[in-house]
Amino acid sequence: MFQILIVDDDKNLKRGLSLLLTDSGYRTFFADNVKEALHTLEKCRIDLMLLEAALPGTDGLTLTRLLRDCKNDLPILMLSSRKQPADIKKGFLAGVDDYVTKPFDPEELTLRIKALLRRAKIVSEHQLAIGNTVLDYDTFSVTTNGREQILPQKEFCLLYKLLSYPNQVFTRLQLMEDIWGPASESTPATVSVHINRLRKRFQNAEDFSIVTIRGLGYKSHIRKSTN
């Protein structure tokens, strides 16, 4: 079960978020301020943090910078009533992974949380082996039978995602949110462009292929010889 830390001094908001996230299958932890948040992060395994920007004392932006300076890559989704582009920009520059303004749509929030957790799972595993093909997340490299290719980041993440879940169909929108993020200005058509590039790169791959499911999206097919 994924564990989510909610950092906010609004008791009603925390109660509502707890109900929403518990119904979605998550376990929740709470903190009213940065000091309590850091204590929880030390004691518990937290998979994602929902962080209010305006906290009493030390604010959410400062906490984000502190974690990033310490090379902590915990997914952070910032919640804020500040809606100006300059405020949102400050959040991303501080190191948050996503930014949601209040009031927010509960369904949209849960979708953004799922997307962040999926991306975090991809990053945490670092390396994936499919037959004689090895994908290394640290270098964005794909090695097949001793031949190494360094891929652009988005192409690599897209391939890693598909090969991590063989035969699972992903829509273009799902892949767009997972790889480019919900805040991206790109369109799902961008996914198709990157899929075509990957197919050209690995058209002779013996271990896998990328399959188009008409009207739905894409999936990876692992060849039987790799089993």
23 and 75 assigned to the same domain: yes
117 and 219 assigned to the same domain: no
pLDDT at 18: 92
The encoded tokens of residue 26 equal 């998550």
- pTM of whole model > 0.85? no
pLDDT, mean over the chain: 90
- Domain boundary residue among 97, 122, 147? 122
Residues in contact with 197: Cβ distance below 8 Å, sequence separation at least 6, in sequence order: 155
pLDDT at 215: 86
Q: What is the dihedral of CA 207, 128, 109, 56, to 10 degrees?
A: -160
* Residues in the chain where the model's pLDDT stays below 50: 226-227
Helix intervals (H) in the chain? 11-23, 34-43, 60-69, 85-94, 106-125, 153-164, 172-175, 189-201
The CATH number of residue 204's host domain is 1.10.10.10
Q: CA torsion sign, 15 to 47 to 161 to 52?
A: positive
- Domain boundary residue among 94, 122, 150? 122
Q: What CA–CA distance (Å, rounded) separates 225 from 212?
A: 21
- Domain boundary residue among 100, 122, 144? 122
Buried b (16+ CB within 10 A) or exposed e, 208-221: bebeeeeeebbbbe
75 and 61 assigned to the same domain: yes
pLDDT at 46: 92
Residue count of the chain: 227
pLDDT at 225: 55
pLDDT at 14: 92
Number of folded domains that form the chain? 2
Residue-range definition of the domain harbouring residue 80: 3-122
pLDDT at 226: 44
Contact between 208 and 163 under an 8 Å Cβ cutoff? The reply is yes
118 and 133 assigned to the same domain: no
